[in-house]
Amino acid sequence: MKIKEVIVVEGKSDTIAIKRALDADTIETNGSEISASTLEQIRLAQERRGVIVFTDPDYPGERIRRIIRDEIPGCKHAFLPKKEAIAVNNKGVGIEHASDESIQAALENAKEDYLGEEVELIHRQDLVDAGLIGGMQARSRREKLGLHLKIGYSNGKQLHKKLKMFQISREEFIDAVHQVLKEEKE
């Protein structure tokens, strides 16, 4: 499998895992403090080939994703479920711990930032009504919803932003919520 876009990852271990799983070029951010020169490399890659941001499913990974999203709009974003990124010894979470198949699936399902006029398709109240904000099961439901929609885990506020950013339709949202609720009953 070959990827046309340049994949932005956090470090060398992630690059090794990517290259093990498929044929692709990477840019490493070397942590969550992204330098101006690294941002320029990402900007050039986005202009020439396109970029897929593929960071670890943790707080620093989401911080890097936000910085890139703010500085370089239009990038694609790939998300790896946290359970697929946990080290065998449970002493770490990251892309470097994922299987080749998980990496390939995440990249195949990369979602593009929406650059057009922002239209609110799903309201915050919809999240409350679906039990995604507030309540005992909200966090678990958001985790499962992120898996179904392939947008990764988010807290309530970030989930609303991601739904808008990736232009998740009301129909997609409702279908995914129904799946989450169905899984809870099983």
The residue ranking higher by pLDDT, 108 or 170, is 108
Statement: residue 119 has pLDDT above 60: no
- Residues spanned by the domain of 128: 124-185
- pLDDT score for 113: 75
Same domain, 11 and 102: yes
Render 38-91 in DSSP notation, one character per residue: HHHHHHHHHHHT-EEE---SSHHHHHHHHHHHHHSTT-EE----GGGSB-TTSS
Q: Of 52, 56, 73, whose CA–CA distance to 7 is shortest?
A: 52
Say yes or no: 14 and 66 in one domain: yes
| C-alpha distances out from residue 158 to 10, 83, 102, 154, Å | 21, 20, 24, 5
Higher pLDDT, 158 or 32: 158
Q: What is the mean pLDDT of the chain?
A: 89
Residues 89 and 38 in one domain: yes
Answer yes or no: do 14 and 80 share one domain: yes
How sure is the predictor about 14, in pLDDT bands with cuts at 50, 70 and 90?
very high
Q: Is the pLDDT of residue 161 over 90?
A: no
The reply to whether 146 and 67 lie within a common domain is: no
Kindly calculate the radius of gyration of the chain based on its CA atoms and give it in whole angstroms.
16
CATH number at residue 23: 3.40.50.140
The answer to whether residue 117 is domain-embedded is no
Please state, for a pLDDT cut of 70, what percent of the chain lies above it. 96
* Residue 106 and residue 144 in one domain: no
Instruction: Say if residue 19 is in the same domain as residue 70.
Output: yes
Output the pLDDT for position 122: 86
Average pLDDT over residues 35-54: 95
In a domain, 1, yes or no: no
At which of 79, 112, 145 does a domain end?
Answer: 112
Q: With 90 as the cut, is the pLDDT of residue 139 above it?
A: yes
- pLDDT (0 to 100) of residue 39: 95
Residue 185's pLDDT band (boundaries 50, 70, 90)? confident
Is the pLDDT reported for residue 118 higher than 60?
no
pTM for the full predicted model: 0.72
Q: What is the pLDDT of residues 57-114, one digit of tens each?
A: 988 998 999 899 889 988 999 999 888 888 777 778 899 999 999 999 999 999 887 6
pLDDT at residue number 115: 59
